[in-house]
Amino acid sequence: MRSDVLDQLVSRYLEQPVKASWEGGAADLLRGSFDDARIELGGLATAWMSLDGVILSARRAELKPGVPATIRVESPSLLVSVGQRDVARWVERFQLPFELHLTERGLLARAKVAGLPLGEVEARLQVVGGWFVLQPQRASLLGVPNYAAWLFRTYLPLPPLAEGARLEEIGHEAGRLRLRFEIESFEEDITPGLMRRLRGRLLP
């Protein structure tokens, strides 16, 4: 179910437009409890990379009145989407020695020297010790296949996963990368700065 009132309320406290929905009826608004709750943001700029889309879903969310009011979220998960344009800007910002292309099979890193192609590595995104890494599946140097692709594993200049978050699923598409994280249940006061605190809790 959708509610314009709830959209406006949540947008006010998160300080940006959102779409909220849940499984149930209008009476849930009065109780302040929502099953299979879902909040969708059209996009989000972080200190590291802009995200095309962000969806926070939870098995249950509950608003508790008080001064201040609080929100409790049970079994939340976070789905983030990154597009090719934002990845290209990120690579340029950190002056990485390769181009990074999002494909259906994974990520394709192409190295160049003086504008000339040197080699390419086809890799999958993984998390090792909480840090994001490129795990090569195939590599070639000067057009010659290199069967020791595993030697080219590269740590990416991204912050580690937020405490209590687990990367559960990676979806590769042409020009898009989707990541789904499982997060620990949490409770937050509904006060100014809520969005900033949620970013630190939810996003790497």
Question: pTM above 0.85?
Answer: no
* pLDDT at res. 73: 93
- Mean per-residue pLDDT for 95-112? 85
For the chain, the helix, strand and coil percentages under 3-state DSSP, each to the nearest 5:
20, 50, 30
By DSSP bridging, strand 131-141 and strand 116-128 are antiparallel
Q: What percent of the chain has pLDDT over 90?
A: 25
Contacts by 160-167, CB closer than 8 A, 24 or more apart: 160/129, 160/130, 160/131, 160/204, 161/127, 161/130, 161/131, 161/204, 162/200, 162/201, 162/202, 162/203, 162/204, 164/201, 165/78, 165/202, 165/204, 167/127
Rounded distance between C-alpha atoms, residue 43 and residue 189, angstroms: 24
C-alpha–C-alpha distance, residues 146 and 150, integer Å: 10
Give the span between the Cα atoms of 185 and 204, in whole angstroms. 17
Q: Average pLDDT for residues 101-121, to the nearest whole number?
A: 77
Tell me the per-residue pLDDT of 190-202, one tens digit each, with 9 for 90 and over: 887 777 788 777 7
- The span from the CA of 195 to the CA of 171, in Å, is 26
Query: How is the chain split into domains, by residue range?
Result: 4-81+181-202, 83-177
Considering 29-38, 117-126, 145-154, 166-175, the range whose residues carry the highest mean pLDDT is 166-175
Q: Tell me the pLDDT tens digit for each residue of 58-80.
A: 999 998 888 888 889 999 999 99
* pLDDT of 110 strictly over 70: yes
